[in-house]
Amino acid sequence: MTPTDVTRSGRGVTGIDLSDLDGFWAAPIPARAAAFAELRARDPLSFHPEPDSPWRDPDGGFHAVTRLDDVLAASRAPQVFCSGRGSTSIPDMPAEFVEFFGSMIGMDDPRHARLRRIVSRGFTPRRLARLTEDVAATARRIVDEVIDRGECDAVTDIAARLPMTIVCDLMGVPASQYDFVFDASNVVLGAGDPDYVPEGSDIVTAILTAAGGLAELMRDLGAKRAQDPTDDVTSALVNAEIDGERLTPDELASFFILLVVAGNETTRNAISWGLHLLTENPDQRDVWLADVDGVTPTAVDEIVRLASPVIFMRRTCTQDTELGGTAMREGDKVALFYWAANRDPAHFTDPDRFDVRRDPNPHVGFGGPGPHFCLGAHLARREMSVMFRELLTRVPDIHTTAPPSRLRSMFINGVKALPVAFTAGGVR
Ligand code: HEM
């Protein structure tokens, strides 16, 4: 057996099994961090069998990239480590999913660049500046609604509502549809967790039904805006023409699904983990409270680093190659573990420490340097900044009263519920 074959047999030197959803991924966060520290130090590019899923390839597996330098190197070489073959999660995407989930996050240039050029129009600094007022007003309303209660669920009552409202507002989705969009996005990204699959349905049907509903909503809205444009992003997208091209109705629908899942679940988990981190680190709350405006920019990035709401993204080798000294073959699946790279002691001093003033903070929570770097990073930072400013100035003693109830997933570092308490009435 060659050295590569030993690695591929799944007999890693550490015995750590990254495909174990109910063992490894359900373990407490410090245990997860310790295991990744061991992998980074002893076996930074280990090979694992595919995790359990309806689409699991029993003979397949993936390389796990855990060091920041290797994540950066792969991100910078998208022609070798591509996004457009199979999927960006471990199992290849089944054919029936492509209609809804065949969005730009799973494409390579030149198709990716074409779509990104068109949709970037929806994310211009001018449009985002206009959105700032909406973000602030929405955050204020969210806190207004809970402030007299003295307690609530931080996920559904606080963290989830801001990104949902903003993404829907951005696209021009009417408020009457917010609940539907929220439930559907939970199903799409949380379908590995029994709590999010409607009773009596299997995972595949649940995901396709949810995505089909989102797509229909967007096709209808797109048709309306093509006739009668407003100043929302849907109008910009259906009427944008770049080099004679515009988005087709199906491209618009799958972009919306991407935005809903990429923009909602991530931001809401970041805000929820942020509240948990603040509770666990009272010294850092004090530092932040002492200078809310000054500390917010670094604090928000530190939350994204430690939360790493997107745990990994997959790439696929387009040719035989090498990464960090490990040989890889064409077609190999490579998981870039942003969560692990964000705790790499080679780049982050005292990496498990929550340090709201950490600077520099070269984290890859929004992805590595390359074509797929998060399109919504500015918006996400803005949403988180405004939400925490609102919370820290109006309910400064907000704290969690139980540990986060975590999503069963190795892809999304999700929080399903997080009870919090604060002095009722707060500061108006
Ligand atoms: C804290 C919040 C967020 C986190 C942690 C996050 C994380 C990420 C990551 C890691 C990627 C890279 C995917 C890859 O490597 O292939 C990504 C891509 C993307 N994100 Fe975000 N994201 C956040 C918020 C948002 C928001 C608010 C939006 C939009 C409303 C958004 C839209 C997108 C889109 C469209 C892409 C795909 C870009 C492309 O393929 O060119 N994200 N995000």
- For 4, 316, 324, the CA distances from 7, given in Å and listed in that order, are 5, 18, 14
267 lines ligand 1 (CB under 6 A): yes
Percent of the chain with pLDDT over 70: 96
Cβ(334)–Cβ(62) under 8 Å?
yes
Average pLDDT over residues 26-44: 96
Nearest Cα to Cα of residue 404 among 396, 393, 414: 414
Measured from the CB, is residue 263 less than 6 Å from ligand 1?
Answer: yes
pTM of the model: 0.94
Candidate from 254, 255, 342, 366 with most ligand 1 atoms within 8 A of CB, to mutate: 366
pLDDT interval class at 2 (50, 70, 90): very low
Averaged pLDDT for residues 76-85: 96
Distance CA 94, CA 55 (A): 7
pLDDT tens column, 307-350? 999 999 999 999 999 999 999 999 999 999 999 999 999 999 99
Pair 143, 394: CB distance under 8 Å:
yes
Which atom number of ligand 1 is nearest to the Cα of residue 383? 27
Across 154-183, b (16+ Cβ under 10 Å) vs e yields bbebbbbbbbbbbbbbbbbbeeeebeebbe
**CB 238 near ligand 1, within 6 Å:** no
The answer to whether the CB of 312 falls within 8 A of the CB of 422 is no
Contact 68 CB / ligand 1 (< 6 Å): no
The structural architecture, per CATH, of the domain 29-421 is Orthogonal Bundle (1.10)
**Residue with the nearest Cα to atom 31 of ligand 1?**
376
What is the pLDDT averaged over residues 365-386? 96
Instruction: Determine the residue of 234, 374, 384 to mutate for testing ligand 1's pocket, defined as the one with the most ligand atoms within 8 A of the Cβ atom.
Output: 374
Residue 304 beta carbon below 6 angstroms from any ligand 1 atom = yes
CA distance 214 to 253: 7
Nearest to 276 by CA among 401, 392, 361: 401
Tell me: the pLDDT tens digits for 399-415?
999 999 999 899 999 99
Does the CB atom of residue 376 touch ligand 1 within 6 A? yes
- The C-alpha atoms of residue 106 and residue 315 are separated, in whole angstroms, by 9
Report long-range pairs for 234-241 (Cβ below 8 Å, ≥24 apart).
234/171, 234/172, 235/172, 236/121, 236/122, 236/127, 237/118, 237/119, 237/121, 237/122, 240/118, 240/121
**What SS3 state is found at 32?**
helix
Kindly report the length of the chain.
Answer: 428
Give the integer Cα–Cα distance in Å for 71 and 55: 26
Please work out whether the CB of residue 387 comes within 6 Å of at least one atom of ligand 1. Answer: no
Higher pLDDT, 247 or 26: 26
SS3 242: strand
Please tell me the distance from the alpha carbon of residue 171 to that of residue 232, in angstroms, as a whole number: 6
pLDDT recorded at residue 340: 98
Across the chain, mean pLDDT equals: 91
Instruction: Identify the weakest region by mean pLDDT among 35-39, 93-97, 134-138, 281-285.
Output: 93-97
> In this structure, how many other beta carbons lie within 10 angstroms of the beta carbon of residue 13?
12
100 vs 308: which has the higher pLDDT: 308
Judge if the beta carbon of residue 414 lies within 6 A of ligand 1.
no
Cis peptide before 360 (omega within 30 of 0): yes
pLDDT at 6: 40
Atom of ligand 1 nearest to the CA of 106: 40
Kindly give the distance from the C-alpha atom of residue 172 to the centroid of ligand 1, in angstroms, as a whole number.
20
Helices 249-260, 178-190: inter-axial angle, 10-degree rounding: 80
Residue 104: count other Cβ atoms within 10 Å of its Cβ: 23
Cα separation, 272 vs 170, whole angstroms: 22
Give the pLDDT of residue 5: 43
Residue 350 φ/ψ region, left for φ over 0, alpha for ψ in the -120 to 50 degree band, beta for the rest: left
pLDDT of residue 270: 98
Annotated domain spans of the chain: 29-421
According to the model, what pLDDT value does residue 127 have? 79
Could you give the CA distance from residue 151 to residue 401 in angstroms, rounded to a whole number? 9
- Say if ligand 1 is within 6 A of residue 115 CB: no
Mean pLDDT of 338-363: 98
Rounded to the nearest whole angstrom, what is the distance from the C-alpha of residue 228 to the centroid of ligand 1? 29
For ligand 1, the distance from its centroid to the CA atom of residue 197, given in whole angstroms, is 24
